[in-house]
Structure 1
Amino acid sequence: MSQAAVISEKFPHRVSAVFPNQSMADEASEALRSEAELEQEQIELVRPDDPGLERKVEHETTNIAWTIVRSHVGLGIIGFIVGLVVAAVFWGAGFEFATTRPGWLFILAGAVGAVIGLLAAGLVSVRPDHEPVILRAEQASERGQWTVVAYARDEPEKHRADEVLKEHSVRVTDSL
Structure 2
Amino acid sequence: MASATSFYDFKPLDKRGQEVPLETYKGKVVLVVNTASKCGFTPQYAGLESLYTKLKQSHGDDFVILGFPCNQFGSQEPGSDEEIQNFCQVNYGVSFPIMKKIDVNGDAAAPLYQWLKEVKPGLMGLKRVKWNFEKFLIGRDGNVKGRWASSTKPQALEEPILEELKKPNPQAGEAGKL
Alignment TM class, shorter chain as reference: under 0.3
Return the index of the structure with the highest Cα Rg. Answer: 1
Q: Which has the higher contact order (CA 8 A, sep 6+)?
A: 1
TM-score, structure 2 as length reference = 0.24
